[in-house]
Amino acid sequence: MLVIRRHEGQTVLVGDDVEILIIECGGRRVKLGFRAPRQVAVTRGEVKLTREQNLAASQPVSPAALREVGRRLPALGAGGRKAPGAAEIAGLATAPADPWAVPAPGSSSGALDPKPVVAAAQAAAPRHGISPPGVGKP
């Protein structure tokens, strides 16, 4: 690696076609200008690295690689709780749309009765200073 010192207004030549101009030096930053033919790509190093990482991350993952990741995952979830199994995950698809509603007692039709949850939320709201959507503070 060639290391040289330059002052504002001075240039560095790279080959016959590329000229780097030192425009401004101040504090901890240097402003550079580049003169190069259109066919010569001039890119910041971090932009090139990000592009390469994005391209690598966008590649399809084989089923075998996914199985390997699943095999290496710990059996416990966050906070030491048991990670949900397939049955629990499948049950999420049938969860009620309203998270504050609970099935009405004795209901076989699956009708939802939000009153018990709303009442509990109203009772807890003054203690915690929060309330669920649609529940005003008393």
Where does residue 129 fall: left (phi above 0), alpha (psi -120 to 50 degrees), or beta otherwise?
left
Give pLDDT, residue 68. 80
Give pLDDT, residue 57. 85
Q: Are residues 107 and 101 in contact, defined by beta-carbon separation less than 8 angstroms?
A: no
Residue spans per domain, the chain: 1-57
Give pLDDT, residue 72. 75
What is the spatial distance between Cα 101 and Cα 39, in angstroms, rounded to a whole number?
Answer: 63
H/E segment holding residue 29: strand 29-35
Give pLDDT, residue 138. 47
Q: Are residues 137 and 126 in contact, defined by beta-carbon separation less than 8 angstroms?
A: yes
- Successive 10-residue mean pLDDT values, the chain, 138 residues: 91 93 92 94 89 87 80 61 59 53 55 59 57 52
